Structure 1
Amino acid sequence: MWMKLRYGRLVCGLFVGASAMAHGQQKVLVIDGHSGQIPVIAAGGGSCVGIEPLASLMNGSLSFSGNQITLSLHGGSASQPGSQGFTQGFLSAAIEAMSEIREWRSALQTAVQYGFPTNSDWVNHYSGPAAASVRQASVAATSESDRHAAQLIGNELNFMQQLSDKMISARKNLSYIAPNALETDPLDKKILNCAHSLAGMEASGQFHDDGSCH
C-alpha cells in the first residue's frame, strides 16, 4: 500500500480515522492499530505532523522523486500482541518456569490427597525455585509477545501461591481437608486452565490471551 504526498516536511490534515488527542496544551497523533504517537503542529490554520515520524509510526518507508514523496505502508502493526512470536531464549525459560509451577502443584496435590503434613518451610521448597524461574523468564522476555506471556506466567505463579497458602492455612487451623479438595477448588481449576492456555501458546510459538490466566 502506498500514497503520494506533496513535497514538504509536514503533512497537514491527511488522515481520516486517525485521532489527534489533546495532552495538556500539546496535541499528539495516534493511529488505530499502531503503537506510539507523534506531536501535532499547528500551521497555516491546520494540524500538521512530520512525515518522517509519521512513516515510522505507521511502519512505513519514504521515497523521494522530484517534488513527490511516496509513503509505502508495509502492513503488520507492531502493536498487535503475538505478531512477532516468542523468542527462543524466552520460550526455553518459560517452559522451565511452567515446569517448576507444575511440580509445585503436583506436590501440593499429593500432600492434600494423602494428608501429609505441610508448612511454610515445605512450601518454600517448591515456591522458591518456581519464583526464581518465573523471574528468569521475565528477564528473558525481549519481544512484545514474550512480555505479554511473561505477565501471564506471573499470574499463574500468584494463583499457585494463593492455593498453597489456602491449604497451609487450613492445615494450620486444624480444618478438615478432604483428599479430593483440589478437584473441586475453583482456584485449582483456574491454575489448570491457565497452564493449558500457556501450553498451547508454547506449542504454537504465538501469544494468544484467551482470558484463562486472569
Structure 2
Amino acid sequence: MPGEAPTVTVKGKVYVDLDTIVQLLGASQQRTGNRVIVRLPKRGAEDPDSEAKLSRPFIVAGIELMSTIREWRHMIITATAGSYPFLEDRAGPYGRNADSKLALVTGAAVTEADRSVLDLLNKETDLMRKFSDKYVGLRKASLGVLPEDVENDPLGLQILDCARGLSALAGSQRFQDVIACH
C-alpha cells in the first residue's frame, strides 16, 4: 500500500510517526503503559485459507522468542549447576528480553492461527519464568543444587517438550494444540 510519511533524523537514526504508519498500513494500535501493539489488517481474500495459517512475520517473531527462551534456560542450567554468583543479575536481562520478544510476537499475530499459537507462546514464557524464579530463589536461599537435578527438572523438561511442539507448528504453519505447553 503506497504512501508517504514525514521523517525526522536524530543522531543518525530516522524516525517516523507511529500514527502515520498505522494509518498507511490500515492497521490498528493498542497502547498500554509504555507499550504499543500494532495489529496489521487481516490478509485479503486472495487466500481463503489464510486465517488457518501462521503468518510469516509471526513465525519469525516466534522463532526469535523461542531462541531467547532456549538461551535463558541454558543460562539457568549452566549458572546453577556451576554455582556461578549473581544468578538473579544474570537471569533478569533474559526475562526482559523475552518480554520484549513476546511483545513483538503479539504485534505480529494477525491470523486466527497466530492468535492460537500466541496463547501457547505466552504459556511457554510463563513456564520459563517459573523455572528461572525457582532456581534464582534456591540460590538466594543458599541451597545447593546438583547439576543433574537442574537438567532433569520436570518444569525444565516441560519447557523443552513445549518448544519441540511449537517448532513443529512453525514447520507446518498450522495451529495444533501442544499439550506440553499447558
> Which consecutive residues of structure 1, in runs of 5 or more, have no partner in the other structure?
1-75
> Quick check: 1:204 aligned with 2:178?
no
Shift, 1:83, TM fit? 6.2
The 1-side partners of 2:151 and 2:118 are apart by 27
Corresponding position of 2:79: 111
Confirm or deny that 1:187 pairs with 2:155: yes
Match of 2:103 in 1: 135
Please say which structure displays the higher CA radius of gyration. Answer: 1
Deviations 1:109-134 (A, max 9, x none): 11122111233322112111111101
- The amino acid across from 2:94 in the alignment is Y
Within a 5 Å distance, the mapping from 1:1-214 to structure 2 comes to: 84-214=52-182
Dislocated runs of 4+, deviation >3 Å: none
Post-superposition CA distance 1:150-194 (Å, at most 9, x none): 111111111111011100111111111111122221111110110
Unmatched runs of 5 consecutive residues or more in structure 2: 1-47
TM-score, normalized by length of structure 2?
A: 0.70
- 1:51 aligns to what? none
Q: Which amino acid aligns with 2:70?
A: R
Q: Tell me the distance in 2 between the aligned counterparts of 1:140 and 1:198.
A: 16
TM-score, length-scaled by structure 1: 0.60
CA shift at 1:93, angstroms? 0.7
Q: Higher strand fraction: Structure 1 or Structure 2?
A: 1
C-alpha displacement of 1:208: 0.7
User: Deviation string for 1:62-105 (max 9, x for gaps)?
Assistant: xxxxxxxxxxxxxx9x9xxx961101111111111111111111
**Identity among equivalent pairs (%):** 33
Give distance in 1, aligned partners of 2:102 and 2:149: 27
Taking the aligned partners of 1:186 and 1:204, their CA distance within structure 2 comes to: 27
CA distance in 2, matches of 1:169, 1:125: 16
CA RMSD of aligned residues (A): 1.8
CA contact (8 A) 1:90 1:141 kept: yes
Alignment check: 8 A CA contact 1:85 1:207 kept: yes
CA distance in 2, matches of 1:117, 1:199: 33
Please give the alpha-carbon distance, in whole angstroms, between the structure 2 residues aligned to 1:119 and 1:112.
7
Q: Structure 1: which amino acid aligns with 2:130?
A: Q
Q: Which has the higher helix share?
A: 2
C-alpha distance in 1 between matches for 2:178 and 2:87: 34
